[in-house]
């Protein structure tokens, strides 16, 4: 004998999910709709984690199309937000229908949920009044504020700034302090440091960087030449030409300075990558000497510090801010504006855009505003941020965001000991496999992709906002095939998760010892050799209070502020079909395998590379 229909309405488990408001439900079928049926009783009925069960009124509505939740005033109580996890209907035959919600319902409103679907979020967001669904949770916000106060208090006690290190549970800062002057470690950072995205193969020495065989003979050894090493593919280069013309800052009444260097590297037979020549400007000449490892110790050390200062600016403004935070913000806004909650791509991406808008708003308030950290403690200052990001946007390419193409374009496929590349490639492949299955399930032919107006509006906005409608960027403005959609979704998720982890998580590790990554320089770059000394360097690097500002910010940004959700962890059940859930499980298993491989590799390393170990990779740009 058939049973009765049962509705289950689940309230979220997070603090504050309950509501005093009156909540009712209406069923809408093909033949009509039911009367409203009250779900709560008196007072705060929907406590956190509660699942309310009820039997709906007898109905003859035909096939069920959707349900409506009505949130209305209750007596004299003020409006009270409610976090609804899901609504579930079990029909008389025992078949279960899922209506996922997983969002805050604010104000008095009617919310329509289709089976496996939900409403569309507001299109415009105000920083002063953000939708609760995109705000930090109480846990995350409390931790973030507490850490902000802690680090800010250190600014007023510079003599105690070393205590910041006490809150770091990594051995990396101490390792960096011990090895920062070594050429092998300098080269290592371009492979596995906080900015592993700028090293490129050099096939021909640029005219603006006239390095000769005689200059590098000692570095290369007696058995080879510069020409031979170029042909073998063992010479690499980093060119900071993007810094040319950047504004420079004034701090504590002192003019700050920024070099525009080029650095040449050699991969030794041992696999170590070492610098062999540095020029601190883009224009060769008598006042722009090429510094060499054979130069006096402090000359060479200072030249490397200028390169690291330049790298700090490219890392913070391009690799980190532009290519992860701002890209993720554009992905977020396009998703919220153009994809309703019932859209499979919305359900796919919502975990990967979690908290992105709020962290970016906080960055604008605390870091990249006039008077923020970037203005108080860096060579380029506030004006430089806008200059560099604007230049970066004009040069941004789709291939630079797609890992396999970026690795190939930079010619670094065979670089030894490039753990970033190795780990990122595995994660990219895992995401790509997940996306291929996802696209095949929801878009079984290309006509469905071309005919999806919401998806096309989504990609169109991203093309316009992220790539400034530049066809030269190589980015798609429309999506026509399963292959194109798979690649683009892979890029989006990789950018929001793994790429951000790679350029964010190690900031304090590599920057805690300030000489390794100086945020600003107080004297101009040297124009002659033989003049540098330790005393000179101490007059060039930032003052103690400026160092404290920079380090406290790096520490805050490097530490996850609670409520972490690692890559592949999807606690909300947005997908009700079996196939996407199977794909998620396969993805999670593959990430576990990748983590095991990384752990085994790291056992043999003096400095383990864990920034792309899946348990330490956040699903979204949330810090």
Classify each residue of 467-483 as buried b or exposed e, where b means 16 or more C-beta atoms within 10 Å of its C-beta: beebeebebbeebeebe
- Lookup: tokens for 249: 């800052």
Residue 380 pLDDT greater than 70, yes or no: yes
List the domains of the chain with CATH numbers. Answer: 6-52+81-115 (2.60.60.20)
Give the model's confidence band at 555: pLDDT under 50 very low, under 70 low, under 90 confident, else very high: confident
DSSP string, 414-456: T-TT-HHHHHHHHHHHHHHHHHHHHHHHH-SSHHHHHT-HHHH
Structure-token pair, residue 354: 């979690």
Q: Is 610 exposed, middle or buried (0-12, 13-18, 19+ CB in 10 A)?
A: buried
Q: What is the DSSP letter of 121?
A: P
Q: How many CB atoms lie within 10 A of CB 165?
A: 16
Contact in structure between 438 and 489 (CB atoms under 8 Å): yes
Among left, alpha and beta (phi > 0; psi -120 to 50; other), residue 16 is left
405 HSE (CA, 13 A, CB side):
12
User: Is residue 80 annotated as involved in ligand binding?
Assistant: yes
Q: What angle do CA 287, 236, 518 make, to 5 degrees?
A: 60
Consult the annotation and say whether 500 binds a ligand.
yes
Q: Which residue pairs, CB below 8 angstroms and at least 24 apart, start in 282-291?
A: 282/208, 282/241, 282/244, 283/208, 284/208, 284/209, 284/210, 287/527, 287/528, 288/527, 289/526, 289/527, 289/528, 289/529, 290/209, 290/210, 290/211, 290/215, 291/529
3-state class percentages of the chain: helix first, strand second, coil last, to nearest 5: 45, 15, 40
Q: In terms of residues, how long is the chain?
A: 623
Identify which has the larger pLDDT, 355 or 42.
355
DSSP symbols for 525-581: PPSSSS---HHHHHHHSPPHHHHHHHHHHHHHHHS--S---BTT---S----SHHHH
15 has pLDDT over 90: no
Q: Among the listed ranges 105-109, 490-494, 538-542, 593-597, which one has the minimum average pLDDT value?
A: 105-109
Per-residue pLDDT tens digits for 247-268:
999 999 999 999 999 999 999 9
Tell me how far apart the alpha carbons of residues 51 and 10 are, in angstroms, rounded to a whole number: 4
Residue range 281-310: mean pLDDT, rounded:
98
| 167: pLDDT strictly greater than 70 | no
Say what the pLDDT of residue 92 is: 74
Lowest pLDDT segment from 162-166, 401-405, 446-450: 162-166
pLDDT digits (tens, 9 = 90+) for 488-498: 999 999 999 99
Residues 350 and 120: their CA atoms lie apart, in Å, by 12
Distance CA 198, CA 190 (A): 7
583: confidence class by pLDDT, cuts 50, 70, 90: very high
Mean pLDDT, the chain, integer = 87
343 is in an annotated binding site: no
Q: Which residue has the higher pLDDT, 106 or 215?
A: 215
Contact call for residues 567 and 434 (beta carbons, < 8 A): no
Q: Are 357 and 127 in contact (CB under 8 A)?
A: no
pLDDT band at 2 (very low <50, low <70, confident <90, very high): low
Measured between alpha carbons, how far is 89 from 437 in angstroms, rounded to an integer? 28
Which DSSP state fits 519?
S
| 443 neighbors 449 (Cβ within 8 angstroms) | yes
Tokens of 292: 């060499």
Say yes or no to pLDDT of 410 above 50. Answer: yes
> Strand, helix or coil at 495?
helix
Residue 318 annotated as part of some ligand binding site: no
Q: Whose structure tokens read 């939900």? A: 118
Give the lowest-confidence range in 96-105, 129-138, 603-612.
129-138
Residue 320 labeled ligand binder:
yes
C-alpha to C-alpha distance for 534 and 538, rounded to whole angstroms:
6
pLDDT at 560: 66
Of 606, 431, 608, 420, the C-alpha closest to 504 is 420
- Distance from C-alpha of 199 to C-alpha of 556, rounded to nearest angstrom: 27
Of 140-149, 382-391, 455-464, 554-563, give the lowest mean pLDDT range.
140-149
Query: Quick one: pLDDT band at residue 419, thresholds 50, 70, 90?
Result: very high
25 is in an annotated binding site: no
Which one is predicted more confidently, 148 or 583?
Answer: 583
Mean pLDDT of the 65-91 span:
81
pLDDT at residue 147 above 50?
no
pLDDT of residue 598: 99
Question: Cβ contacts of residue 171 below 8 Å, gap of 6+?
Answer: none
Q: Specify the pLDDT at position 118.
A: 32
* Angle value at C-alpha 378, between 372 and 379, nearest 5 degrees: 135
Per-residue 3-state assignment (H helix, E strand, C coil) for 47-105? CCCCEEEECCCCCCCCCEEEEEEEEECCCCCCCCCEEEEEEEEECCCCCEEEEEEEEEE
How far apart are alpha carbons 111 and 71 in whole angstroms? 8
How much is the pLDDT for 95? Answer: 74
Helix (H) or strand (E) holding 476: none
- Asked if 609 and 172 count as a contact pair (C-beta separation under 8 A), the reply is no
Q: Does the structure show a pLDDT above 70 at 547?
A: yes
Q: What is the pTM of this model?
A: 0.81
Between 86 and 162, residue with greater pLDDT: 86
User: Can you give the pLDDT at residue 9?
Assistant: 85
Q: Report which of 321, 309, 375 is spatially closest to residue 546, judged by C-alpha positions.
A: 375
CB within 8 Å of 129: residues ≥ 6 apart: none
Q: What's the CA gap between 296 and 275, in Å, rounded?
A: 15
Whether residue 112 is predicted with pLDDT greater than 90 in this model: the reply is: no
Could you tell me which residues come within 8 angstroms of residue 249 by beta carbon, excluding any fewer than 6 positions away?
Answer: 256, 375, 378, 379, 380, 381, 382, 383, 384, 520
Kindly tell me if the per-residue pLDDT of 596 is higher than 50. Answer: yes
**Who wins on pLDDT, 306 or 576?**
306
Mean pLDDT comparison of 90-104, 110-124, 471-485, 566-580, highest-scoring range: 471-485
278 annotated to a ligand binding site:
no
- Among 359-373, 436-450, 598-612, name the one with the lowest average pLDDT: 359-373
Integer Cα distance of 453 and 465 in angstroms: 18
Give the pLDDT confidence score for residue 102 in this predicted structure.
72
């Amino acid at each position: 004998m058939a049973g009765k229909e049962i509705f289950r309405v689940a309230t979220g488990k997070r603090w504050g999910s309950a509501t005093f408001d009156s909540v009712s439900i209406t069923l809408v079928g093909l033949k009509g709709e039911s009367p409203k049926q009250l779900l709560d009783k008196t007072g705060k009925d929907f406590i956190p984690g509660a699942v309310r069960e009820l039997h709906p009124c007898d109905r003859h509505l035909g096939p069920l199309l959707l349900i409506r939740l009505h949130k209305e005033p209750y007596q004299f109580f003020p409006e009270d937000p409610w976090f609804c996890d899901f609504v579930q209907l079990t029909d008389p035959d025992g078949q279960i229908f899922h209506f996922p919600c997983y969002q805050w319902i604010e104000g008095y409103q009617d919310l329509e949920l289709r089976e496996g679907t939900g409403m569309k979020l507001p299109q415009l967001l105000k920083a002063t009044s953000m939708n609760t669904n995109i705000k930090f949770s109480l846990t995350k916000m409390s931790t973030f504020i507490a850490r902000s106060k802690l680090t800010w208090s250190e600014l007023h006690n510079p003599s105690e700034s070393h205590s910041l290190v006490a809150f770091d549970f990594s051995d990396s800062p101490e390792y960096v302090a011990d090895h920062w002057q070594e050429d092998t470690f300098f080269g290592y950072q371009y492979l596995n440091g906080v900015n592993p995205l700028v090293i490129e193969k050099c096939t021909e020495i640029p005219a603006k960087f006239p390095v000769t065989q005689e200059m590098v003979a000692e570095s290369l050894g007696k058995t080879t030449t510069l020409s031979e090493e170029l042909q073998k593919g063992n010479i690499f280069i980093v060119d900071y030409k993007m810094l040319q013309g950047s504004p420079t800052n004034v701090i504590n009444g002192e003019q700050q300075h920024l070099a525009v260097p080029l650095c040449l590297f050699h991969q030794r037979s041992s696999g170590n990558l070492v610098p062999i020549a540095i020029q601190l400007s883009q224009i060769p000449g008598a006042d722009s000497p090429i510094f060499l490892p054979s130069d006096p110790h402090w000359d060479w050390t200072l030249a490397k510090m200028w390169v690291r200062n330049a790298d700090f600016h490219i890392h913070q403004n391009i690799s980190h801010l532009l290519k992860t935070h701002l890209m993720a913000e554009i992905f977020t806004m396009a998703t919220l504006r153009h994809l309703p909650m019932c859209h499979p791509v919305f359900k796919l991406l919502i975990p990967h855009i979690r908290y992105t808008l709020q962290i970016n708003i906080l960055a604008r308030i605390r870091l990249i505003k006039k008077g923020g950290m970037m203005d108080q403690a860096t060579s380029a200052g506030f004006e430089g941020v806008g200059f560099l990001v604007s230049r970066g946007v004009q040069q941004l390419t789709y291939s630079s965001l797609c890992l396999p193409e970026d690795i190939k374009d930079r010619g670094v496929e065979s670089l030894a000991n490039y753990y970033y590349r190795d780990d990122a490639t595995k994660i990219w492949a895992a995401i790509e496999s997940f996306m291929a299955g996802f696209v095949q399930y929801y878009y079984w032919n290309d006509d469905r992709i071309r005919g999806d107006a919401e998806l096309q509006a989504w990609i169109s906005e991203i093309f316009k906002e992220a790539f400034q409608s530049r066809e030269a960027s190589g980015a798609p403005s429309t999506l026509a095939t399963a292959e194109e959609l798979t690649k683009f979704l892979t890029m989006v998720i990789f950018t929001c998760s793994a790429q951000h982890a790679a350029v964010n998580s190690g900031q304090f590790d590599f920057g805690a010892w300030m000489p390794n990554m100086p945020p600003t320089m107080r004297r101009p770059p040297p124009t002659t050799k033989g003049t540098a000394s330790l005393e000179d360097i101490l007059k060039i690097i930032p003052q103690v209070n400026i160092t404290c500002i920079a380090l406290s910010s790096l520490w805050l940004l490097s530490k996850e502020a609670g409520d972490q959700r690692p890559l592949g962890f999807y606690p909300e059940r947005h997908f009700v079909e079996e196939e996407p859930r199977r794909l998620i499980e396969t993805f999670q298993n593959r990430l576990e395998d990748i983590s095991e491989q990384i752990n085994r590799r790291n056992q043999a390393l003096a400095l383990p590379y864990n920034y792309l170990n899946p348990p330490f990779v956040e699903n979204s740009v949330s810090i």
